[in-house]
Structure 1
């Protein structure tokens, strides 16, 4: 029912794989789209399928608060509840512990500081994370066992252990203690998973250790020693894009390659291309639909007036009279039907359909990217293919 097979390529650590789940097969490398609250922002599951998507993820933390895991289970699990009859992943809620307490990974890399939402996190202890619901203000305690039970009720194919994701600004001593706590939580998560195992889900361990090579090595050794189905590289990935790549280099080479390797929360085109070279099999990020809501359309360098950037901003007045599609060779519904001038107009008058139309393109762009990566790895043309998608 579950399996992961792969074969090596001639491109560094890059590999082609097949990840089989009860709800379908994922060809890797692959991108996982974020339906955080059991819905894609602005898109239906049919539109996701039409764009070639293989797998989506939802969030344990948010769904545990609304509508509640029990309701989702009564509705037949996430696949039936959402209408997405395909592979799904749920994260553990650990990332929300981090983002509510310290700010998101993306905010760190962009140099942003904390907002008021940090006040919702009250305390992290050996038992778990105590927080106040942003939904209704009630107090909650999320333990490793709770996270596994919630994810069991949600019913995704692939699930994650509960961890604390440390921020960039803490010192090595705190990072080490947090990593050790996450390892103990991982053991508890695994024990609860084994207790409830129904052969319908598989569990990923998470690699922590911040920006410190020796801690990352310790965390890799830990997850390798445990019977997880897959690995997920998480935690603080540094304060810049360059440091993020260094952190991935600290972890990826030391992981058991017989297991699928996931990179949490990263979705930039250049980051994906570099990650594939390091042996990463799957990626996830809200990036494609988030930038769409702000007028951002993903394009290859050849179609970008600023080729060092990975998207164009359709709000800009330069597109006022532009009768060309976002990308002339893109087969998506948006590009075969609408001009940049029309999308610019929709954004200016704040029509919600603009976000949907740009998201359709961005999702298909990401799926085209991953398909091109897989084909080029099979054809041994990856170095040339990379240049079509990003400037190195």
Structure 2
């Protein structure tokens, strides 16, 4: 267990990150609130807001320069398991990346812009369940070379070396199933130990020159709140409130109802949801509880499925009285082959101002990767405008009214996927058991008629056996008998 010595640590939370609550429901820890998250040298984040999820440091389907030019993304989530392969047995390239004096090694490695807030966690969102359980000193992860264990001290050292803006503490959480009573007793103890490792590593003052010390920025730490009752994690929450309060800058939640378990001494910290809401209605529910930041997997899932998001908040006037509207448009449908309208009426994104539905539908059918790139640009913009509308209604005290109108105006779930989508990448594989069908279809296949002709030709031209005479060979067409 790491021991925190006052002589070797400083309190980094205040110097790196500040969170101002601009408006909140009084005397209520679980309620609407409007805020602003400020980090040194980064674009301020108005909350509630969302965090773009990356794959190896880049938002799927778009490059870093495209993200900067055509989206309003100001924060990204990066998973350490995307980069570490066989560490610590073999040093991964990200640890060998030479960092500039004014940027971190991870930011340099991923070519992320200087104004974008980088948030690092151990696992992807949504994480793939691992066959091995967590231990007292490590969590199970899935790297590009398979399942392995990530030691708590190695994760803490990675946070210190890679220097993200925000690092999320390790949490002993069981993914894919409900933990038993004995396991729940261990979860709080393990998470508390791992938080001590992380705080100790990020608070160290290494010996270096004054110039390097100035640019050696420490990551702000977000502590996990476990998805169980306050009584079951009482000692862990007390540890956060009494021992580690000066070293943590925010909280991460894996269950929206955990908001009610937050102690009063931690209520003013920003709250980040990592439980992966499945629809806009899920987001609105979490915002009503007082959650500030969201990692939203369904943005990329919609893009992969060829779905263009099509919703606004507040809902357009008059929609609530008619049939509920779909939350997105399935661009695989042949009905859009001649449709030259934009993906969403009134949308000002790059895709909608320069292209139309017919072009996007053609790209998807032809399996041109530009189709998914244009969809991702559009879907990111739709989500940005969605949260901008949410913040405006909170400021005007009309959020709950508009939320009810929205839920009546739109379907509760996204449309069903009909197209094949791009090839499934490794982190998208959901391992359910043996003898599963292939996730990716073969790019080239033999047609049935052609296969039959090939088989007949192969049989006709079979290699003769030594016992066959000249008449048999001539009958098969292998050769002509010489007279």
Partner residue of 1:36 out of 47, 50, 55 = 55
Counterpart-to-counterpart distance in 1, 2:361 and 2:167: 39
Counterpart pick for 1:258 among 244, 249, 268: 268
The number of residue pairs the alignment matches comes to: 360
Residues 8-64 of structure 1, C-alpha deviations (whole Å, 9 max, x = no match): 245972112111112312111111001231111111233333321121121112122
8 Å CA contact 1:73–1:154 kept in 2: the answer is: no
Q: Choose 1 or 2 for highest CA Rg.
A: 2
Q: Which residue of 2 aligns with 1:110?
A: none
Aligned to 1:93: 122
Aligned-CA RMSD value: 3.1
Change (3 A) 1:91 1:80: closer
Contact 1:90/1:151, CA 8 A, preserved across alignment: no
The whole-number CA distance in structure 1 between the counterparts of 2:189 and 2:323 is 44
Check the 8 A contact 2:140/2:149 in 1, yes or no: yes
Map of 1:31-70 to 2, 5 A cutoff?
31-49=50-68, 50-65=70-85, 68-70=93-95
- Number of the residue aligned with 2:306: 295
| Deviation digits for residues 119-155 of structure 1 (CA, Å, limit 9, x no counterpart) | 5xx4532221366x64345x85422221122122222
After TM superposition, give the deviation of residue 202 of structure 1 in Å.
0.6
Unmatched 5+ stretches in structure 2: 1-15, 87-91, 207-215, 413-483
The TM-score with structure 2 as length reference comes to: 0.66
After TM superposition, list the pairs within 5 Å mapping 1:171-210 onto structure 2: 171-195=180-204, 198-210=216-228
Gaps spanning 5+ residues in structure 1: where?
103-117, 238-244
Is the 8 Å Cα contact of residues 15 and 377 (structure 1) preserved in structure 2?
yes
- Tell me which residue corresponds to 1:19: 37
**Is 2:86 the counterpart of 1:78?**
no
Aligned to 1:107: none
> Structure 2 CA distance, aligned partners of 1:202 and 1:92?
12
TM-score (norm 1): 0.80
Contact 2:173 2:226 in 1 (8 A): yes
Superposed CA deviations along residues 315-370 of structure 1, whole A, max 9, x for unmatched, are: 13343333322211111111122222221221111111110111001101111111
In the alignment, what sits opposite 2:464?
A: none
Mapped partners of 1:69, 1:150: distance in 2: 10
Greater shift in the superposed pair: 334-343 or 367-376: 334-343
Distance 1:386 1:92, change over 3 A: same
Residue 231 (structure 1) aligned with residue 259 (structure 2): no
Q: Which has the higher helix share?
A: 1
